[in-house]
A and B are shown apart, each in its own frame.
Chain A
Amino acid sequence: MTATPASLAELQDAVRAAPRVLAVGAGTKPRLAAAADGTRRISTVRLRGITEYEPDEYTFTALAGTPVREIAAALADRGQYLPFDPPLAAAGATLGGTVAAGLSGPGRFRYGGLRDFILGVRFVDGDGRLLRMGGKVVKNAAGFDLPKFFVGSAGRFGVLGELTFKVFPRPAARLTLRLPAAGPAEIAARFSAIGRARWEAEALEAVPRNAAVYLRLAGPAPALAALAREVLGRWPGEVLSEGTAAEFWAGVGEFAWAHPGGLLAKVPLGPEQLPALAALAAGLADGRVHFGAGGSQAFLSLPAGGEPARLDAGLRDLGLAGLTLRGDAPLRLGRVADPAVAAAVKRALDPAGRFPALDPS
C-alpha cells in the first residue's frame, strides 16, 4: 500500500509509520523508485502546489510532488524560468524527483545545473523529523549546504517535502544552430571551442546519430542574429526554424531518442572523455548516446534486454560513474567508491536505516 500524504505533517506521519520507506514521484525515472520488498512507498502525488512565488525575489517554493511543467508555466506567466531546463517535464516529472535524480537539461550549460539553483529544502529525516535547511533568499551561507547534498541523493538520506529555487528572467529570444560534426573527436573539439568563445551559448548538445552539434543562443533578438552569423562563418551549419528547434529541444528534454522500455542512464564526464564514452556506446548492441551540457553529461540508452552489465563494466574501465534512471540495471553504474564518511553521513540523517541504503541497490 502506497501512502499518499497531502501535507508536510502527513508526510512526516507517513515516514514515521513504517520502518522502511521510499518516496516516489510521477515515476518518470522508475529505477530510483525501485526498492526491496517490505519497503513502503510514499507517493508525493498529493503533495502538490507552489506555496510561494515572489517574481521580484527571483525565488519560488513548491511542494515536492509539484509537476515541473506546472512550475514552468507559472514562471513563464511572469517572464521567468528555471535556467537548467528540468528534463521529462512533459512526461510529468515532479520537482522532488528531479532533485532526487539530480537531473538538469540543456540549459545547464549557460548558468549551471539544478544544484546551482536550489536554495532551500524541507525534508523528513530518518528519525521522522521535519527539518528546513538552506533558505528562501537567493543568497545564504548559514549552516551546512544540505539542499545541494540532496541533489542526486535518490531518496536515500531523507524524504523531500518542499523545495525553494532561484529563477531567472527568461531571455527575450532564442536561436538554435545545427553544426555538422562527423564523429566524437569533432564533437569534442566543437564543444571545447564553443565553450571558450565569446558567444556565451545557452545550450550545447550533440547527437552522434545525427552527426551534429546543436548550439542554442539566448538573449535580445538582434544580438542573436549577429552572433549566429559569426558562428556560421566559422563552421558550416544552419539556423533551425523555430518549429524545428522547438521540436528538437522538446525531444532532448523528454529523451525521445532513447529506446522505449529500455535502459536510460546519466553519466557525468568531462569533454575529454567524450570519445571514449562514444566508443563504449558504439560497442554495445544498439547502444545510443546523447551528449549534453557541452560535454559535461552523457545519456546512454540500451534496448530492453540489452547489455547493462557490459555498460557497467565499461564505465568502470573508463573511471566513470553513472546513475540508472530507467531499466533493469544497478542504480549506480561504473565506478562506485564511497569513502567511510558516506556511511557516517547516512547514519547522521537516517540512523535506523529507514530509507534504502545507497548500496547495494
Chain B
Amino acid sequence: MPPPVLQRLAAVLSPDRILAGAAQLAAYESDGLTAYKARPLAVVIPESADEVVAVVRFCRDERLPFVARGSGTSLSGGSLPVAGGIVITLNRLNRILRLDPDQRIAVVEPGVVNAHVSVAALPHGLYYAPDPSSQPICTIGGNVAFNSGGAHCLKYGMTSNHVLGLKAVLATGEVVTWGGASREQAGPDWCGLFVGNEGLFGIALEVTLQLLPRPESYHTVLAGYRTLELAGDAVSAIVASGLLPGAIEMMDALALEAAVAAVHAEYPPGCEAVLIVELEGPREVVAADRVRLDAILAASRAVEVRVARDADERLAIWKGRKSAFSAVGRLSPDFIVQDGVVPRRRLGEALRRIDEMTRAAGLRCANVFHAGDGNLHPLILYDGRQPGALERAEELAGRILRMCVAMGGSITGEHGVGVEKRDYLPDMFTPDEVDCLRRLREAFDPLGIANPGKMFPAGEASARPAHGLHPLERAGVISRV
C-alpha cells in the first residue's frame, strides 16, 4: 500500500506514470555527480506542461520537495534527488514546438535534447550554439537551469546568452512568461535571472532559443607542446593578436593518455600539452584570419601543428577533446570534475599550483580545459573503494576552488554550484551577498521546496557517497564537461 501522499498524487497524474518501487527509483538516485546518491519518495513522468504545473502545485500544497530532472547529466549534483521528495522527469516534454527560420528562433519543451535543436535547424542553415560535451543527451531544461557552457563560450557565451524567452512554473505554482521572439527586451531581464537558477526558482516549460547562421567554414588546428607553459604562451599570443577564435581548448598529458586509450585519438608524441584552436565564419574571413593564426602557431615552438583538412578530421579532433572526461574513467575507477575559473593570464600559474597540490595529496589529476576563457576542468582521480580516498579528493578539489577564488576567478564556470560546491559559495560571496541570494530564492520559492539542498551551504538534503561512472558514461553515451 503506497503512502497516503502518493495516493493523493495519483489523483494528479496517472498512476502508471508515478514510479515508487525500489528498483524503479534506483535509476534516479544519482546524476553526473556519481559520488552522491539519494532515494526519492517517487519519480513522476508528466507528459505535458499542464501536468508539470499540476505536480508542482501538488508539491506546494503538500509541502513536498521536488527536483526537476532531464537526462541527469549534471556534474554538480544539480538533479540529485531530495531524500523523500519527488523527482519530476521532463524527458517526455520533448517537442520542438516551433522553428522559425525568419526570426531565427526555436521554441522548445524542456526535455528536448540539446543536439536535437541544431539537427532540426540544420535544413535552414541555422544552429544552436551552446555545446556542452554532454550535448548528445543533455536537455535544454537542464541547460537553462544550470546555464550550461561548452567549448565556444568566449565568442558565443553560455546558455543564458541564447535564451530569449521562457514560460515557467515557479515553486509557488505561478506560471510566468518572460521575453519571446525578440533578442531585445524592455524592463528588467527576467529571463536572465531565471537561467542558471539551478532549479531553485521553478521549472521551465517552454524555452525560446536564438539560432545562429551556421558558420560557413572552419579552420581547426591541433598543436602539441613540450610544456604547458609553451602552450599557455601560445594562447596568450593568439588572444593578443586580436583574433577571436570560436574555441581555444587545452589538454594535458594525462588527459591525452586517456583520450588515446578511449577513442584512439592520435596526438603528437612526447607532448605535455595539446592546444585546439578553431576559427569559423564566412570563408573569406576565415581565409584571412587563418594566415595570422598559422603564423602565430608557427612561431610558438610547437612540436607539431596539424590542420584539419576536412570535416571528418575536424570531428576527429573534437572527438578526442569531448570524450576526454569519460576517457579518464579508464585510468581510474572514480574521479571528480572541477569547474573553476581563473583569469586567463594566470592559467600557467594555476596549473603549476594544481600540480603541486595534487602531488602533495598523493593523487593524480588530469587537466582538460577551455583555455580561451580560463575555465579549468581538473579531473581528480581516486578510488572510492579505498577508505578516505573520496575525502582526500574532495579536499584537493576544495583547495583548487579556493585558489580560483583567490586568483580573482570563480568556483564554477559552467557546471553550477549544485550540491557539489555549495559549501564554497561563502568563499565567493560575503554573508550579506549570500543573504541577498537567499532572499531572491525565497521570492521565487517561499516554502523552500524547489531543489532544496543545492547552491546554499548547510545540510538541507541528505546524500550518501557512492562511486563509479554514470551508467550512461560507461556505455559511452555521455561524457563530462
Residues in chain A within 8 A of chain B (CB atoms): 54-58, 79, 102, 104, 108, 111-113, 115-116, 125, 129, 131-133, 135-146, 148-154, 156-157, 168-170, 172, 192, 195-200, 219-220, 222-224, 226-227, 266-272, 293-294, 296-297, 321-323, 332-333, 339-342, 344-345, 347-349, 358
Contact = CB atoms under 8 A, between A and B. Distances in A.
Contact of A348 (B155, B375, B439): B439
Given A136-B408, A139-B370, A144 B174 contact: no
Given A145-B160, A220-B285, A348-B442, A139 B188 contact: no
Interface in B192-246: 192-193, 195-197, 213, 215-216, 236, 239-240, 242-244
B249 to A, nearest CB: 13
Contact of B147 (A131, A145, A223, A347): A145
A347 B443 contact: yes
Interface string B419-434: 0010001001110110
Nearest to A83: B244
Interface stretch (B134-142, B175-183, B261-269, B469-477): B175-183
A172 B215 CA distance: 19
Contact of A142 (B197, B410, B440): B410
B213 A152 contact: no
Nearest to B216: A198
Contacts of B287: 223
Contacts of B411: 142
A22 to B, nearest CB: 15
B110 interface: no
A269 B147 CA distance: 24
30 contacts: A56-B345, A108-B184, A115-B161, A131-B436, A133-B433, A138-B153, A138-B373, A139-B153, A139-B341, A139-B374, A141-B158, A143-B433, A144-B196, A152-B187, A168-B244, A192-B102, A195-B104, A196-B125, A196-B126, A199-B282, A200-B213, A268-B182, A268-B185, A270-B103, A272-B181, A296-B183, A321-B186, A348-B440, A348-B442, A349-B436
A148 B374 contact: no
Interface centre among B188, B190, B197, B410 (most CB of A within 10 A): B188
B285 A219 contact: yes
A102 B186 CA distance: 7
A220 B186 contact: no
Give the interface size bracket for B toward A. Answer: 35 or more
Contact of B182 (A111, A142, A222, A269): A269
Contacts of A227: 282, 284-285
Given A131-B436, A138-B154, A141-B158, A115 B186 contact: no
Contacts of A112: 157, 161, 183
Contacts of A152: 185-189
B157 A272 contact: no
A341 B443 contact: yes
Nearest to A298: B184
A266 to B, nearest CB: 6
A196 B213 contact: yes
A169 B243 contact: yes
Nearest to B148: A141
